Copies of this chain bind each other. A is one copy, B any other.
């Protein structure tokens, strides 16, 4: 059985699930695995969150597809056991990556496609411009993301901790290493 603390955490993840674009069961499965020190098998998860075996099976499949849980095998046991990666930063990276893939990339593709087909009539002038503008902005954001994603976790944490102090640094470097501050093009 599952403790009170764990219960509450799991229920919260279930409720939030819908806001995060996953369903309740998937959220709960993830939460249970996240809090568990040892890998769990499907039946243990069923016991912990009281849903059907098949539902857990599908949820685990989905989480595996998302790369959010790992399959582990326990010596002398035929059943599949699951865990979450224990590096939280890896989880965050995966999460962001997945959301980008599902929520941003298809739109970026569509925008490029629409840009290509151009304004077919004068009254599309304005719309075409807006589409281009939106595309440029999303490209700026995703290429920044790609850059950040390349950084080692240690460096990334450093940057996050610096936060807006960066502004000062930037101010100072502007004088020291002006070349670094060259602007490319403004997606205004």
Contacts and interface: CB of A to CB of B under 8 A. Distances in A.
A124 B5 contact: yes
A20 interface: yes
27 contacts: A3-B121, A5-B131, A6-B124, A8-B114, A12-B110, A19-B102, A20-B103, A34-B130, A88-B133, A88-B187, A88-B188, A92-B141, A140-B157, A144-B160, A144-B163, A147-B163, A147-B164, A150-B164, A151-B164, A155-B167, A155-B170, A157-B183, A157-B186, A159-B170, A162-B181, A169-B169, A169-B173
Contacts of A146: 163
Interface string A1-43: 0011110110010001001110000000000001111000000
A113 B104 CA distance: 33
Nearest to A183: B161
B157 A187 contact: yes
Contacts of A165: 180
Given A5-B117, A34-B130, A146-B163, 15 more contacts: A9-B114, A12-B106, A12-B110, A37-B126, A88-B137, A89-B188, A140-B157, A140-B160, A140-B161, A144-B163, A161-B183, A161-B184, A169-B170, A172-B173, A172-B177
Contacts of A172: 173, 176-177
How many A residues touch the partner, as a band?
35 or more
A120 B4 contact: yes
A127 interface: yes
A183 to B, nearest CB: 6
A50 interface: no
